[in-house]
Structure 1
Amino acid sequence: MDARHLRYFLAVVDHGTVSRAAEALYVAQPSLSQAIRALERELGAELFLRVGRRLVLTSAGTALIEPARQVVRGLEHAKAQVDSVSGLQAGRVEIAAMPSQSVDPLVGLIQACTERHPGLTISVRTAFTVDDVLAQVRGGESELGLLAAHQPIEAAGVDVHPLGSQRFVLVTPPDGPFTEQDAVQAEELKGHRLIVGQTGSGMRRVVDDIRDGGVELAEVVETEHREMILPLVLAGVGITVLTEAWAPLARRSGARVHPLLPPRELHLALVSRRDLTPAARAFIAAADNA
């Protein structure tokens, strides 16, 4: 089985169409289509159903995804091992990261790693929940994952590297309802308009826990786009609960940042596959010493 065909297959899976996959791979669409058909002939099964311009995975195609990723990852791992004989001069690290943790601590971890190994390339993929991160790492889309959970992280099938914790804070407009230096009790949020993240996010769980405790909260905006939350707060649309990763940016933007009481926190960790490339091992080593 041609590994190039498997790469092309995965590109179509990841990008959704032959045209976008061909563009990402810098190959002609006919060449990519021929490679997919050749792979289907070799396997004796259709991998995609062609519905108009769209490609929909068949059950055989779905079953092929994880083994294909393992083969491609294994070849990349073999090449990286050979390259590492002469020192870690180059390499690529793929990391699945949750939005808030991509601000902090990921920026600092990338800085520490690239200072030690300037030849490395870091690719960061978005994952909105713990399950999303774990699925990407276990499925071979990413070697590493950065996640945050309300309990210390334990997960089967991956190695866990704890990175400490982050507290939640309340972020309000410059003329917000609370005195600038005040810590805010959860009960004081009663009746205030909140901007919240999507179900499954850490910030949403904090808001839901406060509501479950009997505090009436009014949600005015629910969004998956974490980057729009601070502008909404500054515009006076509402207040929000974020991890302290956002506190420096919030203060620089003119927002007020208040400790939230009682304290609530997230436990941070890197998770990794067990068959790591030298580049991924170097990233973990830099994280341990950051």
Structure 2
Amino acid sequence: MDFRQLEYFLAIVDHGGFNRAAAALYVSQPSLSQAIRGLERDLGSSLFHRIGRKAVLTEAGAALVPPARAALHGLELARASVGAVRELRAGRLEIAAMASPTVEPLSTMVRRFTDRHPAVSLVLRLALTRADVIEMVRTGGCELGLLATSSPLPGGLNVVPHHVGDSRLVLVTPMDGPFPAGQPVRREQLEGHRLIVGQRGTGIRSYVDDLRAQGIDVRIAVETEHRMAFLPLVLGGVGLAVVTDAWADLSERAGALVLDLEPPALQHNVLVSRTMEPTPAARAFLAVATRTIGT
């Protein structure tokens, strides 16, 4: 077994098949298949079920994923600790992020990080819920993850949380909507209104679920995973939307009305990292993120 075989194995897992993995790795498909057959011989087990063009993990294959990611991370850490990468003159950092904090504070963090370390390549991956972010970091798919949550993270998640500021929730309505400009909207005033909401597992959806738990009869007009759909749906008169204030400027420039909520509601932005030693790029990004809070 060698690191090249593990890299090929994880590429097949991440890309869902041999052909796509070979294209991503810039190797021929026969060379990739030969390397995996060698790995399977070494381990004495099949790692994939070949179903058409797809590759589905066997039970043995699924068991190999976490240690394979850990082994490659260890190799990356060793390489990153010496030479050019140690000085951040090269490297790559993958970050998983939920939609709302991708607007802010992530965009500011990325801008400041790339200003300081332009040679480091960043890869931003979308995660729909905070559980998805944690899983992508915990299993090694990404080294860092940014999530928004209305409640503290439970223990035992095998990630390290870093609080990187808070975001307010605001209400977005059409300009001729039911509430006057410049006045906060109390929770009970949302009674009977139709709302556009995200999927369960997001902080914005938790706010709406809490309203209903308090006996405030809000109606869910649309549930969507696509944050960019919120604003067109609001402007189209489908319903109102509760979003983070990161969306306020874009919403106002598009012609929507943005109103404060009363009492104020906050979402906590949390960067999570692995429990193992971070690579220099991840360590530098965490330092930038921490400084961003203060400014």
Task: Give TM-score, length-normalised by structure 1.
Answer: 0.95
2:84 aligned with 1:102: no
Counterpart in 2 of 1:224? 225
Match of 1:288 among 281, 287, 290: 290
Q: Does 1:160 align with 2:125?
A: no
- Which residue is 2:239 aligned to? 238
- Partner of residue 29, structure 1: 29
User: Alignment length, in residue pairs?
Assistant: 290
Q: Distance in 2 between matches of 1:5 and 1:103?
A: 37
**What does residue 279 of structure 2 align with?**
277
| Equivalent residue runs for 1:154-233 within 5 Å | 155-156=155-156, 157-233=158-234
Specify whether residues 177 and 121 from structure 1 end up closer, same or farther in structure 2 by C-alpha distance, changes over 3 A only: same
Q: Secondary structure at the match of 1:104?
A: helix
What is the 5 A alignment of 1:70-109?
70-84=70-84, 87-109=87-109
Letter in structure 2 aligned against 1:81: S
Structure 2 residue ranges without an equivalent (≥5): none
CA distance in 1, matches of 2:216, 2:171: 15
Structure 2 CA distance for aligned equivalents of residues 171 and 99 of structure 1: 17
Q: Which amino acid aligns with 1:254?
A: G
Letter in 1 for 2:41: R
- What is the deviation of 1:43? 0.7
Partner of 2:135: 135
How far 1:33 sits from its partner (Å)?
1.6
Structure 2 distance, partners of 1:154, 1:271, is 13
CA distance in 1, matches of 2:97, 2:127: 6
**In the alignment, is the contact (CA less than 8 A) between 1:93 and 1:279 conserved in 2?**
yes
Structure 2 residue identity aligned to 1:213: Q
The change in CA–CA distance for 1:272 and 1:155 in structure 2 (over 3 A counts) is farther
| Structure-2 separation of matches of 1:21 and 1:182 | 54
Aligned-pair CA distance for 1:13: 0.8
Match of 1:49 in 2: 49
Higher mean C-alpha displacement, 22-31 vs 161-170:
22-31
Which aligned pairs between 1:112-131 and structure 2 lie closer than 5 A? 112-131=112-131
Question: 1:212 is aligned with what amino acid?
Answer: A
- CA shift for structure 1 position 54: 2.4
In structure 1, how many angstroms separate the alpha carbons of the residues matched to 2:84 and 2:16? 34
1:84, distance to aligned residue in structure 2 (A):
4.7
Q: Which runs of 5+ in 1 are unaligned?
A: none
Give TM-score scaled by structure 2 length: 0.94
| 2:165 and 2:269 in contact (8 A); partners too | yes
**Equivalent residues of 1:84, 1:278 under 8 A apart:** no
Give the Cα separation in 2 of the matches to 1:271 and 1:80: 20
Q: Deviations over 1:42-75 (max 9, x none)?
A: 1110001122332221110000000000111111
2:13 is matched with 13
Percentage of identical aligned residues: 55
CA distance in 2, matches of 1:50, 1:124: 30
Deviations 1:147-192 (A, max 9, x none): 1211234544222221121111111112211112121111111221
Aligned to 2:4: 4
In structure 1, the residue corresponding to 2:45 is in which secondary structure?
A: coil
Report the 3-state secondary structure (helix = DSSP H, G, I; strand = E; otherwise coil) of the residue aligned with 1:242: strand
Partner-residue secondary structure (3-state), 1:95: strand
- What whole-Å deviation, never above 9, does each CA across 1:87-135 have from its counterpart, x for those lacking one? 2212111111111011110000011111111111111111122221111
- Alignment root-mean-square deviation, CA: 1.5
C-alpha distance in structure 2 between counterparts of 1:73 and 1:62, whole Å: 18
Contact 2:17 2:55 in 1 (8 A): yes
The answer on whether the counterparts of 2:131 and 2:201 sit within 8 Å (CA) in structure 1 is no
